[in-house]
Amino acid sequence: MSAQLTFWGQERTWVRGWLSDEEILVVSTTGEADRPRCFAHAVPVDGGPARRLPYGWVANLALGPQGGVLLQSTDMSEPAWRKRYRGGTAA
């Protein structure tokens, strides 16, 4: 059975796994004005409020068995795309 736990209205929201039996790991831009600002959140399966995790901007992360955390940076795009270069035709 599946159930919607949140509605953040963000195109850039991804489920990344489980933190525990009670929380789902989600990466999202919810509440942020800039597109690259993705943060990790813990979403309770009982429908309670989500909490932002203290890892800063992330695109993905993996949790180790003894509390270690592996983070992937959010800025993995091409520099021309980031700087909005469009072949010399952009305003």
Task: Give residue 57's domain range.
Answer: 13-82
5 is a domain residue: no
Count up the domains in the chain and report the number: 1
Confidence band of 87 (pLDDT split at 50, 70, 90): low
C-alpha to C-alpha distance for 31 and 68, rounded to whole angstroms: 27
Work out the mean pLDDT of the chain and round it to a whole number.
80
pLDDT, residue 5, reads 81
6 is a domain residue: no
Give the best-scoring range by mean pLDDT among 31-40, 43-52, 54-63, 72-81: 43-52
91 is a domain residue: no
C-alpha to C-alpha distance for 15 and 49, rounded to whole angstroms: 16
Flag whether pLDDT at 54 surpasses 80: yes
C-alpha to C-alpha distance for 71 and 85, rounded to whole angstroms: 28
pLDDT, residue 81, reads 62
Percentage of the chain beyond pLDDT 90 is 15
Closest CA to 43 of 18, 68, 66: 18
C-alpha to C-alpha distance for 64 and 46, rounded to whole angstroms: 24
